[in-house]
Structure 1
Amino acid sequence: MSASVALADYAREHAQVHAVRTTVFVEGQGVPAGLERDALDPLSTHVLARDSDGTPVGTARLTPERRIGRMAVLESHRGRGIGEAMLAALVAHARAEGWPEVGLHAQLHALPFYARAGFVPCGPVFTEAGILHRHMVRRLPGASPVEDVDAAAAVVVALAGHARRGLGIYSRALDPGLLDRRDVVDALRRFATRPGRCQVRVLLQDAGSPQREDAPLLALAQRLPSVFEFRQTSDPVDDRYPSAYVFNDTGGALFRPLGQRFEGEGGIEAGHVARRLAHAFDPVWERSRPCTELRALG
């Protein structure tokens, strides 16, 4: 990142905050100038990102309503990790304040950005300032409710991004509609191809269906056989297990009580859920058979 991020003194630096927001929102997105500022600005915690010469290039705020917003980075400085750094600074401030969770209203195109930071979509799509948004929440710590497939995918993307070396997946047949989504497969690809030794253990009840349906995750695994390992349950008790889940080695988890549905709970700071799932996963893994038939490229 070529910029520094720090909490701003709004009374002294408000002109710099609004200069960035006006460029991004009013001039860039057509948001009415009257909507860009509001009564919450003097009451909120703001961050400013500055280039190496001190020029403001990004800003965001955290309101007393425990909502992150007005996330803006100048177009010339996007793709450098500035947004991620500002988001992390505001999450850290919320945690220091002892808040149990923090939320935000994400423009639909920005959902993947916030998902990678551990935010989970909730509620319906709505319009704000003429732009489609969805509410997102991150527990500090804890598991958030997962309401639909988009929320489940957001959690899996975050789990892959925040894993250190290991991921565990328990699924009936690679969860069509979830584990074959492009954003999910791309997140698992990024994890599997990062430097260092990584491992993805996938425990299936039905290994034949993904093979017959050319599941995208299976194709990825066949290109990276040193990272992905598949096993199929062989104990009748395990075959009747109704749930599905994903967990990583840094305390993140997604648990869906009914594997054929996407509702459940999850997050990147769900340590108690992750420990419970890992404890249940390991003995089933040990007594299940390796799926050597899934390793060969077609």
Structure 2
Amino acid sequence: MEYKVQPVLWQDASEQLKTLRKAVYVLEWRLPESTEFDKRDSKAVHVLLFSEDNTPVATGRLTRGGEIGRIAVLPSHRNLTVYKTLFAALLRLADMHNIDKIHLQSELGSVDYHREKGFQPVGPVFMEAGIAMQKMVCQRQNFSYPDVRHIH
């Protein structure tokens, strides 16, 4: 299947972005909606992936500080092609914005995996929506596509 990629701003596509993220994080993962949306949404660049019938099936965001996050992929589209397409689009945006360090937030169980991929922990462990998380960073040129098992 071929996917269409579209970089979007929150102001222009918030309804589509909210729908995808609510489906994954609020309904599927049962996380509080209040933790899913934050002030950084309006300042970040987002990516939407559309299926062949023009239905939004995935999204992710890149903040001005270089953090990739809020990856939400509908269950029926969780495959390597979607994840690679989504991350490639986010990395192109990082290149366009001259971002040289990629940041992410990792669940504690995935920290070792990300270390093997060149990420280093930054700061203390913190809680987000009841989940222990660790901020991590790596040089843009060292970023490799994540294993899908460590995202959903």
User: Scaled by the length of structure 2, what TM-score is found?
Assistant: 0.79
What is the match of residue 121 of structure 2? 122
Structure 2 residues not aligned, in runs of 5+: 148-152
Q: CA deviation at 1:14?
A: 1.0
Match of 2:31, as an amino acid? V
1:179-236 deviation line (CA, Å, top 9, x unaligned): xxxx9xxxxxxxxxxxxxxxxxxxxxxxxxxxxxxxxxxxxxxxxxxxxxxxxxxxxx
1:127-166 deviation line (CA, Å, top 9, x unaligned): 2211232322221336xxxxxxxxxxxx9xx6xx9xxxxx
| Bigger relative contact order (CA 8 A; separation at least 6) | 2
Distance 1:47 1:67, change over 3 A: same
Conservation of the 8 A alpha-carbon contact between 1:101 and 1:139: yes
Partners of 1:109 and 1:76 in 2: CA distance = 25
Other structure's SS at 1:141 match: helix
What is the match of residue 96 of structure 2? 96
What is the match of residue 29 of structure 1? 29
Q: CA deviation at 1:10?
A: 2.5
What is the match of residue 79 of structure 2? 79
Conservation of the 8 A alpha-carbon contact between 1:2 and 1:80: no
Other structure's SS at 1:132 match: strand
Map 1:176-191 to 2 at 5 A: none
Distance 1:112 1:10, change over 3 A: farther
Among the aligned pairs, what percent are the same residue?
Answer: 32
Partners of 1:114 and 1:2 in 2: CA distance = 28
Other structure's SS at 1:31 match: coil
What is the match of residue 133 of structure 1? 133
Distance 1:83 1:106, change over 3 A: farther
What is the match of residue 231 of structure 1? none
Q: CA deviation at 1:113?
A: 8.1
Distance 1:92 1:138, change over 3 A: farther
Residue 38 (str. 1) matches residue 38 (str. 2) = yes
Q: Give the number of the structure whose alpha-carbon radius of gyration is greater.
A: 1
Conservation of the 8 A alpha-carbon contact between 1:119 and 1:136: no
1:63-88 deviation line (CA, Å, top 9, x unaligned): 12221110110111102421222122
User: Scaled by the length of structure 1, what TM-score is found?
Assistant: 0.43
Partners of 2:113 and 2:24 in 1: CA distance = 17
Conservation of the 8 A alpha-carbon contact between 1:122 and 1:134: yes
1:102-135 deviation line (CA, Å, top 9, x unaligned): 201123466688679x551414543221123232
Other structure's SS at 2:39 match: coil
Structure 1 residues not aligned, in runs of 5+: 143-154, 162-182, 184-298
